[in-house]
Amino acid sequence: MTEAGKRVAVLVEQQYQEMEVWYPVYRLREAGCTVELVGPEAGKIYPSKLGYPAKSTLAAADAKAEAFAALVIPGGFAPDYIRRSETMLRLVRDMHAQGKPIAAICHGPWVLCSTSALQGRRVTCFHSIKDDVQNAGGTYVDQEVVIDGNIITSRTPDDLPAFLTALLETIRSR
């Protein structure tokens, strides 16, 4: 597998949606990727919406886009906190500038609304942020997974199998 040894960043912050962090983490690890949980602070525990802990392995300030093959942005309420952190946004912007795959699910595209990544792109997301995605220059599409250039998006946890298949295929093809 060409995913073996690839390093992938999964963003974490408080109030993340459990499945949207852990399903990608385990699928990516099964494919042979090295997964870093990137948060505002290294070694901090970020509780999910239900209190499930995710301990960051790397601070966003220390995360360099060059070191990663792809980036995952989960949903839940975490994106509202992620987009408040300039170091988290810098990583997302740098990944996008380098054309690396950015996979955002559910409310995850909210983070992309705070960058230029959605301009002129077809995207999907949880329906309640559809207006935000459109106001950020994206074209909303209601389907389980949308790939437009380096941006991969999905709507809800039900879409996780298609979301991870698309991400892994994208990583494999690069």
Note if 127 is an active site residue.
no
- Report the amino acid identity of residue 87: T
What is the per-residue DSSP string for 103-117?
A: EEETTTHHHHHTSST
**What is the token pair recorded at 136?**
């950020």
Reported as type and span, the H/E element at residue 95 is: helix 86-97
Per annotation, catalytic residue among 107, 111, 140, 164: 107
d(C-alpha 92, C-alpha 96), whole Å = 6
d(C-alpha 9, C-alpha 50), whole Å = 22
Phi-psi region of 120 (alpha: psi -120 to 50; beta: other; left: phi over 0): left
Question: Is 82:29 a contact under the CB 8 Å cutoff?
Answer: no
Question: Is 172:1 a contact under the CB 8 Å cutoff?
Answer: yes
Catalytic residue numbers, as ranges = 107
